[in-house]
Structure 1
Amino acid sequence: MLAALVLLGYLAGSIPFGVLVTRWARGVDVRAQGSGNIGATNVARVAGKKLGILVLALDALKGAIPVLLALHWMPESPRAHVAVGLAAFLGHCYPVWLKLHGGKGVATALGVLLVLTPLAALAGAGVYVLVLVATRVSSLGSLTAGVAAVATAVFTAPAIEYALLSGVLFAFMIWTHRSNIRRLWRRTERRL
């Protein structure tokens, strides 16, 4: 059961909604425009904010739904929930359909955390919005949101495994944002 759920998590996470939505709605390949990323921020830049919000929601759902299924089928196994959530996140970042070139994982991590430790997810989302409004820099919002989510999860997660997962997801997000971090350091990061 666990292997099937982990595979389901990865395959759900690997659905490239950013590519599919922009191709369907605008007839463009989001990977060939803007930053080239398939996530909601680049979709918003390339195809408009409404489609960016749609992709954000879909990417969050592809993290949340597999974890909800794991909670349903293996309710007493926090490690299984964590494995499925991590698989969905990694599916988004390294999708088999796009030769392992995916997004940065922020929205998918949000979906996973909304199910497992909702207060941490809401804290992260709140910080993201505040930083984005103040700076108009999505990557800075994502990174500070990650810090807020981890800090909140440490104190509020219903299982230690969920708090640890929030830290692992944030570590991966630092990796996927490494080019953004370099641009933030040089003060050359793009604004929305």
Structure 2
Amino acid sequence: MWGITIVLPLLLSYLIGSVSFSYFIAKRMQNIDIREHGSGNAGATNTLRVLGKGPAAFVFVLDALKGMSAVGVAMLLNTENQTIWMLAGVLAVVGHNWPVYLGFRGGKGIATTIGVTVLLSFTAAIIAGVLAILFIVISRYVSLGSLVYTAGVPIGIAFDSYPNTYLYLSLVLTALAVYRHRENLKNLFQGKERKI
């Protein structure tokens, strides 16, 4: 039984997360591998740089829905265990970052993280989202706003009545974001980061 309620939702979450909408939309629109253009990242921000605003918005929404879908599957297969729900969200982000379908070369997982956290920790996600948008508007650095968001969610969770495992697993999401943005952080410190 645990295979259906624990292993299956987590495996499906990773596979759902591995679907790279940025890659497939770029292939469909211009017959290119988006990972060979712009920043080399298969995500919404690089889609903005390579394909424009419309496709980027579409990718962002689909990637966020991907995170929500992974959590939704976990909720259906395991109706009570909130830790499994959040862990499913983490695995969806892992799938986005290291997709099995694309040789484990994916994106940075921010839109998928947003989908997961909006569904499971709405108040914390909204507060973090407002702060992230402010940082992006002021600095014009999407990477900075992304890191503000992923750092802000655990803080919001810590000050609300969410399960303790949400806090610990949201810190895993923060760590994943920092790791995937390590080059961006280096560029920010050196004043070389690209603005939108």
TM-score (norm 2): 0.93
Find the counterpart in structure 2 of residue 184 from structure 1: 188
Give aligned-pair identity as a percent.
36
- 1:32-43 pair list within 5 angstroms: 32-43=36-47
Find the counterpart in structure 1 of residue 7 from structure 2: 3
Q: Distance in 2 between matches of 1:9 and 1:20?
A: 19
Instruction: Please tell me whether the aligned partners of residues 143 and 184 of structure 2 are also in contact (alpha carbons under 8 angstroms).
Output: yes
Identify which of 75, 89, 93 aligns with 1:89.
93
Change in Cα spacing, 1:157 to 1:87, as seen in structure 2 (3 Å) is farther
Find the counterpart in structure 2 of residue 45 from structure 1: 49
Instruction: Please tell me whether the aligned partners of residues 13 and 92 of structure 2 are also in contact (alpha carbons under 8 angstroms).
Output: yes
- 1:1-192 pair list within 5 angstroms: 1=4, 2-192=6-196
Q: Distance in 2 between matches of 1:17 and 1:34?
A: 16
Instruction: Please tell me whether the aligned partners of residues 120 and 149 of structure 1 are also in contact (alpha carbons under 8 angstroms).
Output: yes
The count of corresponding residues between Structure 1 and Structure 2 is 192
Unaligned runs of 5+ in 2: none
The two structures, once aligned, show a CA RMSD in angstroms of 1.2
Instruction: Please tell me whether the aligned partners of residues 18 and 99 of structure 2 are also in contact (alpha carbons under 8 angstroms).
Output: yes
TM-score (norm 1): 0.95
Instruction: Please tell me whether the aligned partners of residues 13 and 73 of structure 2 are also in contact (alpha carbons under 8 angstroms).
Output: no
Instruction: Please tell me whether the aligned partners of residues 117 and 157 of structure 1 are also in contact (alpha carbons under 8 angstroms).
Output: no
The Cα offsets for residues 14-68 of structure 1, whole Å up to 9 and x where unpaired, read as 0011111122123332111110100100000100011111111111111111112
**Where in structure 1 do 4 or more consecutive aligned residues deviate above 3 Å?**
none
Instruction: Please tell me whether the aligned partners of residues 117 and 156 of structure 1 are also in contact (alpha carbons under 8 angstroms).
Output: no
Q: Distance in 2 between matches of 1:157 and 1:56?
A: 29
Shift of 1:157: 5.0
